[in-house]
Amino acid sequence: MEAYLKLLEITVFPGILFLILIGFFYEWVDRKFYARLQNRYGPLHTGPGGLLQPFADFVKLLAKEDIEPEAVDKHTFRVMPIILLALPLIAAMYVPVTDISRAVVSFEGDLVFIVFILTMYAVSVFLAAWSSTNPFSTLGGSRAVIQLLGFEIPLAIVLFTPAIKAKTLSVNGITLWQANHLPFILLQPIGFTVAVICFLAELEKVPFDIPEAKTEIVAGWQTEFSGRKLALIRLSADVEMVLAASLITAIFLAGPSGPWFIPPFIWFFIKTTAVILIFSNIRTLFARFRVDQMVGGSWKYLLPLALLQVALVQVLP
């Protein structure tokens, strides 16, 4: 019976099916709010208020012809969309959703594993681009690697800084520490700000959509993907957005903890939605950075701020 319940957790709630469904929902929230900030309507007709539009887009891509150019590295080209979807699905299992002290899977040091998966996602983007053997894809993949070098280090530092204070490398442990003290957004606001900016770069959202840059290099590393492969890539982006919002919620916003009269899952939902709205606001406020601006901004500002946050943690009680 216990094994059956664990299987349900992994596959249904709060596992794979839940992550995919909430990924579609957060894409709708992002698109709708982003459109409103630009005085547009956004998704409108498919479902109430356009709620089913992301799912309809996914089904439409699944039904489209899957074109595979002759020159691509076929094995890598075919497997990368699956890997890109699997990586954030695995990482999200380590983030507490329904209980402040329990995720689907957890161990001491799982935060290190999550950071590793985030790095592997960026590496997988480069491999997907390289396997396409397309000049636009290769350029987009190169930009993705540069972006990886620019933002992975400050992101890792600010994610580990709460772990220093909580004296644990477990996401569950960090969330539980905040439930007994104060959320890290109050104790480490610099780290929270750096994490939000770095995750925007991880998600390749404006102003850090350099690897795709549809107005410059067609669709960047995604140029040669179509049909089912593109559907899986788009779905992986939605799940990665869920992972980013969930991880920020767990590390800096005390996860699903809150007043006892509101269920923990509802708190998780409220906090992650707020993070998505922050992402949408930043997308609206800024235009796309150039590659040199992105790298320079990361090394000149984000990395020193991340190190400053570490120093403050060591100095302050």
The pLDDT tens digits for 153-174 are 999 999 999 999 999 999 999 9
Residue 113, pLDDT score: 95
For residue 44, pLDDT beyond 80: yes
Whole-angstrom Cα distance, residue 65 to residue 86?
A: 23
* Per-residue confidence (pLDDT) for residue 253, from 0 to 100: 95
Sorted by sequence, the CB contacts under 8 Å of residue 174 that are 6+ apart come out as 111, 162, 163, 166, 168, 184, 250, 251
List pLDDT tens digits, range 265-299.
999 999 999 999 999 999 888 888 888 888 888 88
pLDDT band at residue 311, thresholds of 50, 70 and 90?
Answer: very high
Q: How far is CA 104 from CA 34, 66, 180, 207, in A?
A: 32, 34, 22, 33
Whole-number pLDDT of residue 95: 93
pLDDT of residue 211: 81
Residue with tokens 């887009």: 57
223 pLDDT more than 80: yes
Q: Residue 4: pLDDT above 80?
A: no
Q: How deeply is 148 buried, as exposed, middle or buried, from its count of CB atoms within 10 A (0-12, 13-18, 19+)?
A: buried
Q: Tokens 């996602």 appear where?
A: 121
For residue 195, name the pLDDT band (cuts at 50, 70, 90).
Answer: very high
50-55 average pLDDT score: 94
Residue 315 above 90 pLDDT?
Answer: no
Mean pLDDT of the chain: 90
pLDDT tens digit sequence for 101-127: 788 888 898 999 999 999 999 889 889
Q: Name the β-bridge partners of 102.
A: 99
pLDDT at 73: 87
If you average pLDDT over residues 61-71, what whole number do you get?
A: 87
φ, ψ (nearest 5 deg) of residue 99: -150, 135
Residue 23 has pLDDT above 80, yes or no: yes
Q: Where are the domains of the chain?
A: 2-315
* Under 8 Å between Cβ of 88 and 117: yes
Looking at residue 250, its pLDDT comes to 95
Rounded alpha-carbon distances, angstroms, from residue 90 to 17, 105, 242: 12, 9, 12
Most confident of 1-10, 201-210, 269-278: 269-278
Average pLDDT value for residue range 51-68: 92
